[in-house]
Amino acid sequence: MRLINHINAPQTKAFAKHCFEEKSSEQLRAAAKEKPDESVLSDCGITEGQYEEAVAAALAELEA
């Protein structure tokens, strides 16, 4: 998880790890194209930008 480990914000890193462990590449590609659910942002304590960063990092890790 080289890319995920470079994320500085703890909440963003935790969400990226969750995405990496629980989601498929297809699910992450779809998530990257959609606006994030406000409840996910609230529950994880992240912003929309952090969500995008986490999803991108998790997808890159899965496809590496």
Q: What gap in Å lies between CA 51 and CA 12, rounded to an integer? A: 7
| Model pLDDT, residue 22 | 97
| Model pLDDT, residue 44 | 95
| Amino acid type, 63 | E
User: Residue for token digits 């699910």?
Assistant: 27
> Mind listing the pLDDT tens digit for each residue in 12-61?
999 999 999 999 999 999 999 999 999 999 999 999 999 999 999 999 99
| Amino acid type, 2 | R
Domain boundaries defined on the chain: 2-63
DSSP, collapsed to helix, strand or coil, labels residue 3 as helix
Q: Tell me if the pTM is above 0.85.
A: yes
| Model pLDDT, residue 42 | 97
pLDDT-derived band at 1, boundaries 50, 70, 90? confident
Q: What gap in Å lies between CA 6 and CA 13, rounded to an integer? A: 8
